[in-house]
A and B are shown apart, each in its own frame.
Chain A
Amino acid sequence: MSAERITRREMLKRLIVAPIGAAVLTTLEVRQASAATMQPYYDPYFVAVLWEGRTRCDSLWRSLKGDVVAILPTVQGTTPYDRLYWTGYALGSVPVNVNMRVLARAVDLSGAPLGSGWRPIGQAAIQTPPQRWFRVEIPEGHWDEYRIEVRSATPRLVYSRVIASQGYWKE
């Protein structure tokens, strides 16, 4: 392999104009320890982030994604996961009082639900002092799709994340 002297500016330009080919990438050194920092990963459990964002809660039952279309799932492809965790933070200066409910359903091999509607898994009220964290555990796992809905009599902005764990997966 021959050496070539170029400026940093030229190097950057080459990286942008001529990205490294896939064939070369396969031979590059990659350290797993570095990769692990990019994704929550706790051996022997495997945890995946399914959704993250903010939801404007109002008096309607809304998915975390904001929609009020009852047939739409909030998260999909959840078959491998033993349980889900919904962790969030509600803004505002008054105590938080947000109602939530979790629905689930299974789909066939083409991705169509086995039947109409959803199975209600649970419903609860999240009540905390202002600007506090909350966490909800959804222990009924392995459903293919979940719809997580929230509503609040007082409009409220909730930042939250849904993660899922493969609870009894061991190497």
Chain B
Amino acid sequence: MPVRFLRNASELADVSMESPLPVQVANAKPVPADTLLVATTTVTTTTNRDLMENTNTETPTLDNCGQYRKLVWFYFRAGNAATTCRILARTTDLSAQPLGAGWQELVTDTLPGGANSWGRIEIPSAGDGYYDQYRIEVYRTDGNNYTLTSKVIGVRG
């Protein structure tokens, strides 16, 4: 029995290449942004401390990021202490080992915002990323410890 469907509210039509079933495209493509990290960090005066509260400077905060053109770091900071953030990046070889020791420094700057404020930082701020590993360090230079809640997404492209 041929398959028919109601077309134009009053017309019955056979399904064929010329007269296909009406369909709606939703999410026809892969979502081009992935959530890479959600973390809560107590911001202290310890330098070299990343969002995961790790002080080993060779440990990346984010790994396997080579597919992402850009990262976007969203955060909510509970305190207003002056805070320095460093964003570091590097590339790995085919066995996932860094090409060399240390990092390329992308940013060293003051973390924008005051108490109970939101922030958004694009990594890198201009151009494309495609680095394999990133390390995001935060430490305060005055005031008191506070909580920083972060979300980092990777944008493909």
Contact = CB atoms under 8 A, between A and B. Distances in A.
Interface of A: 1-4, 8, 11-12, 15, 20, 24-25, 28-31, 34-36, 38-39, 41, 46, 79-80, 82, 104-109, 113-119, 140, 142-144, 166, 168-170
Interface in B26-78: 26, 28-29, 31-33, 35, 38, 69, 72, 74-78
A127 B64 CA distance: 48
Nearest to B76: A115
> How large, as a class, is the contact surface on chain B?
35 or more
> In terms of DSSP, what is the predominant structure of the interface of chain A?
loop
Contact of A169 (B1, B4, B24, B29): B29
A83 B117 CA distance: 22
8 contacts: A11-B12, A24-B3, A79-B153, A114-B151, A116-B76, A166-B29, A168-B157, A169-B157
Interface in B99-157: 116-120, 149-151, 153, 155-157
B3 A106 contact: no
B23 interface: yes
Nearest to B23: A35
A34 B29 contact: no
B25 interface: yes
A29 B74 CA distance: 44
Most-contacted residue by chain B among A4, A41, A115 (CB, 10 A) = A115
B142 to A, nearest CB: 22
Given A114-B151, A140-B120, A12 B1 contact: no
Contact of B75 (A12, A29, A35, A114): A114
> In terms of DSSP, what is the predominant structure of the interface of chain B?
strand
Most-contacted residue by chain B among A34, A79, A166 (CB, 10 A) = A79
Interface stretch (B14-22, B81-89, B90-98): B14-22
Interface of B: 1, 3-6, 12, 15-17, 20-26, 28-29, 31-33, 35, 38, 69, 72, 74-78, 116-120, 149-151, 153, 155-157
A90 B69 CA distance: 39
Contacts, number: 112
A37 B75 CA distance: 39
Given A15-B4, A104-B118, 7 more contacts: A8-B12, A28-B3, A41-B25, A46-B29, A79-B153, A116-B116, A143-B74
A85 B50 CA distance: 36
Given A12-B6, A79-B153, A31 B75 contact: no
A168 B155 contact: yes
Given A80-B31, A80-B33, A169-B157, A30 B21 contact: yes
A41 B22 CA distance: 16
Nearest to B18: A31
Contacts of B150: 114
A52 to B, nearest CB: 15
Given A15-B6, A28-B3, A79-B153, A38 B22 contact: yes
A17 B9 CA distance: 17
A11 B4 contact: yes
